[in-house]
Amino acid sequence: MNPAKITAADIRGMKNRRPIAALTAYDFPMTKLLDEAGIPLLLVGDSLGMVLLGYPDTTHVTLAEMEHHVRAAARAKPRALLAADMPFQSYQSPAQAVATARRLVAAGAEAVKAEGGRAILPQVQAILADGIPFIGHLGMLPQSVLEEKGYHVKGKTDAERLNLLADAEALAQAGAFAVVLELVTPSVAREITQKIPIPTLGVGTSPHCDGEILVVTDLLGLSPGDIPRHVKKHSDFKQPMRAAVVEWKQGVEGR
C-alpha cells in the first residue's frame, strides 16, 4: 500500500488548514489521472448515471452499477481517498444502509456518501458504528429531484437555513468526516462552514466552503448535456476529441 495514502482523518484535518479540491472519478484511467494530479478526495458519484450511463437523473442508478464503477476506480489504487455514493433507495433503514455500505467497501470504496441529514441519522450512525467513514450531502439532493420537481437552491428562507444548520450539526456530531453542500446560498454555506468542525465541500455553492467538489466531466467539458451554470471555469475537450476522430476517419477513408 502507498505509505502516503490519504485517509478520512486526513481530509477531516484539512479544515482551517488548506482548501480541499475534490472531484468525481468513475473509472480506472480517470482515477489514475486525477490521482496523479494530486486530488486528495475522489468520489465515485452517482452522477455517473447521467454523465456516463445516459440516465435522466441519479434515481435510476443501481447498487450493482455503483459497485462496477467503484471496482474500476479502485484498481487504480489511488493515493487519494476513494469515496462512493450510496445510490437511490439503498439506505432506507439502518440495516440496509450498512449492507449497502459494506458492498461498496468490498468493491474498493474507503468511505461512503449518502444524501440527507437528520432524516437518515440512524442510517449514518449505523454505517459509522460499522467502522465505515461517512460523508454527508445537504442542500439540493439530486436523488430527490423527482419529488422536488427540479434542482432548486436551498437556504433562501429562514426555515431552510435552520434546517440545514441542524442537519449539518447532526451529521458532524454523528461522526461524518465531511459534508457536501450542494446549491446552498452563499450566506448559509458560510454560516454552516463556520459552525461545524468538519470540512464543507461546496457544489455550486460559494467560495466560503472549506473546499469544492465537482463532477469531473463538467470540469473537462465532457458531460453529455449542458454544463451546469455553477461550473464557472471549465475546459472543452469534446471539440479536440471529435477533431481527432474525424482526422483518423479521413485518414482511413482516404487510403
- Closest CB to ligand KIV belongs to which residue? 45
Q: In this structure, which amino acid lies at residue 230? A: H
Spell out the residues 6+ positions from residue 41 whose beta carbon is closer than 8 angstroms to its own.
6, 11, 20, 22, 23, 80, 81, 83, 178, 201, 213
CA atoms within 13 A on the CB side of 42: 33
Q: Does 212 bind ligand KIV (CB under 6 A)?
A: no
Long-range contacts of 21-25 (CB under 8 A, 24+ apart): 21/211, 21/212, 22/201, 22/211, 22/212, 22/213, 22/214, 23/213, 23/214, 23/215, 23/216, 23/219, 24/48, 24/213, 24/214, 24/215, 24/216, 24/217, 25/73, 25/78, 25/82, 25/216
Q: Does 180 bind ligand KIV (CB under 6 A)?
A: yes
Q: How many residues bind ligand KIV (CB under 6 A)?
A: 10
With CB under 6 A as the contact rule, the residue among 72, 203, 209, 222 that binds ligand KIV is 203
Residue in 155, 247, 133 with CA at minimum distance from that of residue 199: 133
Q: Does 206 bind ligand KIV (CB under 6 A)?
A: no
* Helix and strand element counts for the chain (H, E): 10, 8
Piece in contact with ligand KIV (CB under 6 A), picked from 26-34, 44-52, 103-111, 118-126:
44-52
Complex with ligand KIV: residue 33 or 129, whichever CB lies closer: 33
Alpha-carbon distance 211 to 218, whole Å?
A: 17
- Do 178 and 212 meet the contact criterion of CB atoms below 8 Å apart? no
Complex with ligand KIV: residue 76 or 253, whichever CB lies closer: 76
Alpha-carbon distance 160 to 129, whole Å?
A: 29
Q: Minimum Å distance from CB 214 to ligand KIV?
A: 7
Q: Minimum Å distance from CB 247 to ligand KIV?
A: 32
Q: Does 178 bind ligand KIV (CB under 6 A)?
A: no
Residue span 54-93 as binding mask against ligand KIV, x where in contact by CB under 6 A, dash where not: -------------------------------x--------
Give me the DSSP letters along 72-83. HHHTT--SSEEE
Q: Minimum Å distance from CB 182 to ligand KIV?
A: 6
Q: Does 24 bind ligand KIV (CB under 6 A)?
A: yes
Q: Does 213 bind ligand KIV (CB under 6 A)?
A: yes
Q: Does 217 bind ligand KIV (CB under 6 A)?
A: no
Complex with ligand KIV: residue 54 or 129, whichever CB lies closer: 54
Could you list the active site residues? Answer: 182
Residue span 226-255 as binding mask against ligand KIV, x where in contact by CB under 6 A, dash where not: ------------------------------
Which residues of the shown chain bind ligand KIV in the complex (CB under 6 A)? 24, 43, 45-47, 85, 180, 203, 213, 215
